[in-house]
Amino acid sequence: MKRPLIGVTSATCAFDCHAPQPQDRLNQSYSRALWQAGAVPVILPNLPEDAETVMQTLARLDGLLLSGGWDISPTRYGESPLNEIVKVDEERDRAEFPLIRAALERETPLLAICRGIQALNVALGGTLYQDIPSQVETRLQHQQTEPRHVPTHTIAVESGSRLAQIVGAARLETNSMHHQAVREVGEGLRVTARAEDGVIEALENPLKPFLVAVQFHPEEIALAPEETASVQACRALFRAFVEACV
Ligand code: MN
């Protein structure tokens, strides 16, 4: 099988005071999980994108993965930052939003993870909880302190959804490393998983070739050495995405 070429958006070093120079950066787990699932991953830098460059980039890619990172500027959904916990990566917003809009227009297969689900939702007119601990009544710890690949809460997956089809289960143990979450759902998206406290953990657009978004981090779980149901489900998610890009 020819490996599809999948672009992965990157973060800046906006909140890393140790970076000696401006950087585009990505946790290795994203590229490793894509490679493991049969793709050739390419890291997309944060460029001051113009429409033409974005279209030329996407024309060469078979798929797009929106990776995790710092927060989206609340001005993009008509709010101002709630508190000092909200850490906005505006340089990244400027690079990523045109790419998301163009990918939606072209119907490029898209997998969105963590900040990715939030960016996708905002790009489609949705809103976010800026800070779960201050805005959502919950006993769940969505910002886990356990190692990143360790599942710490359960999500209920909507039956009949593409996500349910892929993971083959109605419940999934997931990791959780987010302090924001989807609030009002963007146009064309449907909620396909929630945590026990109601926090939205997955979205998709069933009418698109492949448009799946998750709040958890399948790239971390997919690389775990053991063969738990959760590991298998996260590997299946990456395989389904890569197959949709072929
Ligand atoms: Mn969570």
Domain residue ranges in the chain: 5-245
Enumerate the H helices of 26-127 as residue ranges: 28-36, 51-60, 90-106, 115-123
Residue 241 pLDDT = 98
Distance 74 CA to ligand 1 centre (A): 20
Which residue from 112, 148, 122 is spatially nearest to 6, judged by alpha carbons?
A: 112
**Residue written as token pair 């069933």:** 206
Q: What are phi and psi of 113, to 5 degrees?
A: -125, 130
Ligand 1: distance of its center to the CA of 17 in Å?
Answer: 27
Q: What is the pLDDT of residues 95-137, one digit of tens each?
A: 999 999 999 999 999 999 999 999 999 999 999 999 999 999 9
State the average pLDDT for the chain. 96
How close is the Cα of 191 to the center of ligand 1, in Å?
Answer: 14
pLDDT tens digits along 198-224: 999 999 999 999 999 999 999 999 999
Say how far apart CA 53 and CA 45 lie, in whole Å: 12
CA of 157 to the centre of ligand 1 (A): 13
Residues with CB under 5 A from ligand 1 (ion): 142, 176
Catalytic residue among 149, 219, 220, 234: 219
Q: How far is the CA of 42 from the centre of ligand 1 (A)?
A: 27
Q: Which fold has domain 5-245?
A: Rossmann fold (3.40.50)
Q: Measured in angstroms, how far is the CA atom of residue 140 from the centroid of ligand 1?
A: 8
Instruction: Give the residue, 49 or 62, on which the prediction is more confident.
Output: 62
- Is 107 designated active site? no
CA of 190 to the centre of ligand 1 (A): 17
**Residue in 114, 153, 179, 204 annotated catalytic:** 114
* Residues 172-202 pLDDT 10s: 999 999 999 999 999 999 999 999 999 999 9
* Catalytic choice (142, 178, 179, 217): 217
Is 217 among the residues known to form the active site?
yes
Q: Is 17 a catalytic residue?
A: no
As to burial, measured by CB atoms within 10 angstroms (0-12 exposed, 13-18 middle, 19+ buried), residue 137 is exposed
Mean pLDDT of 223-231: 95
